Amino acid sequence: MKKIIPLLLSLVLAACSAVGSEFDRNRTAWKNSGIAHYRFGLTLGCFCPFQDKMPLSIEVNQGEIVSIAGPDGKEISKDDVNYQLFADYGTIDRIFEKLDGAMADKQAGDIIVKYDPTFGIPTEASIDYIKLAMDDEMYVTVSGFEKLP
């Protein structure tokens, strides 16, 4: 009996790691989709002054941002004071990177993510970057995802 318990424990641990985390499964689903050219709506919510520019429409090709436009359809230039923040969340891969970094950070608070069941895309994320700080949260919403030719 004593020999069986360690064996059962190792089988359970192996099964848990084989399944992986929800984050890892969805990131793998996204990578396996092979989608290189796409467009999506991005809304960033925070204590920031740029809410009138939301939602953004972002086109990505081969992992690079092709364009970022505001809700009026007008392209946001790289000279815009908020462009770099928008670009930091401007591809699905970068959103996964932001989530991964926040999850690895010991100072971070709650990180809640909902995923698209087809492609594994994070569709809603609430990130508390610093557990004990106020006004540091970021809310990310991905909408209207479309694969482009």
DSSP states of 40-109 as a string?
Answer: EEEEEESS-TTGGGPSEEEEEETTEEEEEE-TTSPBPPTTSTTHHHHHHTSSHHHHHHHHHHHHH-TT--
pLDDT at residue 133, rounded to an integer: 65
Residue 137's domain spans which residues? Answer: 4-147
Q: Say what the alpha-carbon torsion angle 44, 48, 54, 59 is, to the nearest 10 degrees.
A: -60
pLDDT at residue 15, rounded to an integer: 39
pLDDT at residue 139, rounded to an integer: 94
Q: Is there a contact between 130 and 136 (Cβ–Cβ < 8 Å)?
A: yes
pLDDT at residue 145, rounded to an integer: 98
Residues of the chain predicted below pLDDT 50: 5-19
pLDDT at residue 19, rounded to an integer: 45
Predicted structure pTM score? 0.82
Domain count, the chain: 1
